[in-house]
Structure 1
Amino acid sequence: MARSIWSGFLSLGLVSIPVRLYSATQEHEVDFHQFERGTADRIRYKRVNERTGDEVEYDDVVKGHDVGGGEYVIVERDELDEVAPGRSRSLDIEQFVELAEIDPIHFQKSYYLGPSDDDTASSYALLRTALEKTGRAAVATFVMRGKEYLACVRASGPVLVLETMFFADEIRDPVKELGDLPKAASRGKQLTMAVDLVEAMTEPWKPQRYHDTYTERVEELVEAKRDGKEVVAESPPAATGATDLLTALQDSVAAAKKTRGKTAAKKKTAKKTAKKTAAKKKSAA
């Protein structure tokens, strides 16, 4: 059984449903330690008092907010918890929205939201079914680990999924960040071919077909260096010039259609084989 990272009440009007929050994802990582170059000496970090040079125990560390002029306001952990009493135990639903209305740029991290006791599991299931039937999501707020989160709660199969979200003022303005962005042509052969390429490469979403190739390369690098071998680096792709764009698009469309045709042929063959196998089993029975 997974260990929950937060527990509290999902509050909807006068209804309170005890729930627990669980991590829904895990990232691929190759662990590395830090060493001084040319030695086998590990590099370690310590909490050190910059004035005395003495190491400081974790329990003796407090937070300080810079108010300017070299002055800090010191805040204890307990004081942060007391700012919003009860908020760290309540997931308050503010409204319901069409899930499709939320721009994915707002999504931060996914969690599973599960019922915490059998007595109220039916209330949990009722909300999940209602969200699934309406195609809507609940927008809620809650406090976890000293931080307030905006959250989206949605149905996903048998479970409720909670997505922590960025607040509107946390999302940067693309124009301010990137400056004036180029405008695409509204018509012409290039746009037609670009649309054709999108259509030719459109397939049902199958997350299982993708895997972390970079982590695999890192693991290969570590293994090769352990065996004293060299790893040849891949060359980055060259940028397509404006004069070559139409040709590149046409070739890409042709390649995509060819690949799609092969995939369709394989599926057709697999279906025929499955039908033959089923027929043989039926006749044998």
Structure 2
Amino acid sequence: MNGVPRDGPPRFLRLSLVTCPVALYPATSESEKVSFNQLNRKTGHRIKYAKVDADTGEEVDNEDTVKGYKVDTDTFIEVTKEEIENVALGSTRTIEIDEFVDRSEIDPRYLIRPYCLTPDGKVGHDAFAVIRDTIREMNKVAIGRVVLTNREHIIALEPLDKGLMGTLLRYSYEVRSAEEYFDDIQDVKMTRDMLDLARHIVNQKAGRFEPDKFEDQYETALIDLINQKRAGNPITTKARPRSENVVDLMGALRKSIGDERAAKVSKPAKKPRKVASGQKEMLMPIAGKKPTKEVAAKKPAAKPQRKSA
């Protein structure tokens, strides 16, 4: 599967008496994001974290570390790895489909993380196709249960190309009531003119969601900062953007329409960012990716690789 490790052991997808072996793969990755280590400012050395006994101050080896549930300040109930593994979970290896619901019934707040499901091995493709195509034709989302890292999760299954996408869902007790936050919002009566102007702005910005159009500006700024420091260039502090309260809402809406029209007229075609002179040798390709130059030479039409520190 393109070098992507499966998540957990082999599993079975079951719809009533129809069963097929499946593999579960993470559908997203954050490995390309910039990450930092903590250093000792005085020596520049990396800081290591040790497990230390809170009372004796002595370091504890991994084999002597166990899980404990806190009852009160000084009392813990010790639970071993074997005891946790022996907890009876019927869906440990099986993704059991319990029901089918409309996609619109799933509140976005319940969505956690997507996975890709594929048939595992050469057998089971027919059964997998039956389950996938039935869900697609019924225009429903299958709701089941799956065990990951010794915890049972709700999973929503829906067709995605030739496979299935499984999205982990939160339990009801994990989702806070919106009223906790929205009760203090004032009821405001908007005039028709204001709503018409706001709709006009929305129509000017209307488009299709294309993830490739968006750039993680913070991540790009971090990479630029690191490359500048590696080159020994001075770092200048940028002025923070000012945020002011809008006093004349109608005036702000009219000005927004004018700014949007001007932006559309003057907006140049987006070009790939150029690497500054003397900076190429400092840029390292992202792990697991081909260098940008090589990719560009072989696949001119492919989307540009994100610059890496």
1:107-139 Cα deviation digits (max 9, x unpaired): 111111111122211211222222223321111
What amino acid is aligned across from residue 4 of structure 1 in structure 2?
A: R
Task: Check conservation: 1:63, 1:74, Cα contact below 8 A.
Answer: yes
Q: Partners of 1:49 and 1:178 in 2: how far apart?
A: 44
How many residues are matched? 264
TM-score normalised to structure 2 length? 0.78
Report whether the alignment pairs 1:195 with 2:196.
no
Gaps of 5+ in 1: 267-285
Q: 2:260 aligns with which of 256, 259, 266?
A: 256
Q: Kindly state the Cα deviation for residue 257 of structure 1 after the two structures are TM-superposed.
A: 4.8
Report whether the alignment pairs 1:233 with 2:238.
yes
What amino acid is aligned across from residue 51 of structure 2 in structure 1?
A: R
Q: 1:14 aligns with which of 4, 17, 27?
A: 17
Q: Partners of 1:14 and 1:155 in 2: how far apart?
A: 20
Task: Check conservation: 1:224, 1:231, Cα contact below 8 A.
Answer: no
State the secondary structure of the residue aligned to 2:166: strand
Report whether the alignment pairs 1:53 with 2:57.
yes
Task: Check conservation: 2:91, 2:146, Cα contact below 8 A.
Answer: yes
Q: Kindly state the Cα deviation for residue 258 of structure 1 after the two structures are TM-superposed.
A: 5.5
Q: 1:121 aligns with which of 119, 125, 130?
A: 125
1:44-84 Cα deviation digits (max 9, x unpaired): 10112222323222232211111225211111112112112
What amino acid is aligned across from residue 21 of structure 1 in structure 2?
A: L
Q: Partners of 1:171 and 1:113 in 2: how far apart?
A: 26
Judged with a 3 Å threshold, the aligned counterparts in structure 2 of structure 1 residues 34 and 160 are, in CA distance, closer, same or farther, namely same
Q: Partners of 1:41 and 1:119 in 2: how far apart?
A: 52
- The equivalent residue for 1:23 is 26
Report whether the alignment pairs 1:242 with 2:244.
no
Task: Check conservation: 1:175, 1:181, Cα contact below 8 A.
Answer: no
Q: Partners of 1:262 and 1:103 in 2: how far apart?
A: 40
Q: Partners of 2:265 and 2:161 in 1: how far apart?
A: 33
What amino acid is aligned across from residue 159 of structure 1 in structure 2?
A: G
Q: Kindly state the Cα deviation for residue 93 of structure 1 after the two structures are TM-superposed.
A: 1.2
- The equivalent residue for 2:153 is 149
Gaps of 5+ in 2: 270-309
Structure holding more helix per residue: 1
- The equivalent residue for 1:97 is 101
Q: 1:33 aligns with which of 30, 37, 43?
A: 37
Q: Partners of 1:260 and 1:10 in 2: how far apart?
A: 50
Judged with a 3 Å threshold, the aligned counterparts in structure 2 of structure 1 residues 23 and 225 are, in CA distance, closer, same or farther, namely same
1:7-56 Cα deviation digits (max 9, x unpaired): 31112112222111111111242121111223313211011222232322
Q: Kindly state the Cα deviation for residue 186 of structure 1 after the two structures are TM-superposed.
A: 4.6
What amino acid is aligned across from residue 246 of structure 2 in structure 1?
A: G
What amino acid is aligned across from residue 110 of structure 1 in structure 2?
A: P
Q: Partners of 1:262 and 1:40 in 2: how far apart?
A: 47
What amino acid is aligned across from residue 6 of structure 2 in structure 1?
A: S
Judged with a 3 Å threshold, the aligned counterparts in structure 2 of structure 1 residues 255 and 180 are, in CA distance, closer, same or farther, namely same
Q: Partners of 2:207 and 2:123 in 1: how far apart?
A: 43
Q: Kindly state the Cα deviation for residue 237 of structure 1 after the two structures are TM-superposed.
A: 4.2
Task: Check conservation: 1:185, 1:191, Cα contact below 8 A.
Answer: no
Report whether the alignment pairs 1:137 with 2:145.
no
1:194-214 Cα deviation digits (max 9, x unpaired): 222222212111111112111
TM-score normalised to structure 1 length? 0.84
Q: Kindly state the Cα deviation for residue 102 of structure 1 after the two structures are TM-superposed.
A: 1.3
- The equivalent residue for 2:302 is none
Q: Partners of 2:40 and 2:55 in 1: how far apart?
A: 25
- The equivalent residue for 1:84 is 88
Task: Check conservation: 2:15, 2:131, Cα contact below 8 A.
Answer: no
Task: Check conservation: 2:154, 2:170, Cα contact below 8 A.
Answer: yes
What amino acid is aligned across from residue 7 of structure 2 in structure 1?
A: I
- The equivalent residue for 1:72 is 76
The alignment's C-alpha RMSD in Å is 2.3
Equivalent residue runs for 1:200-215 within 5 Å:
200-215=204-219
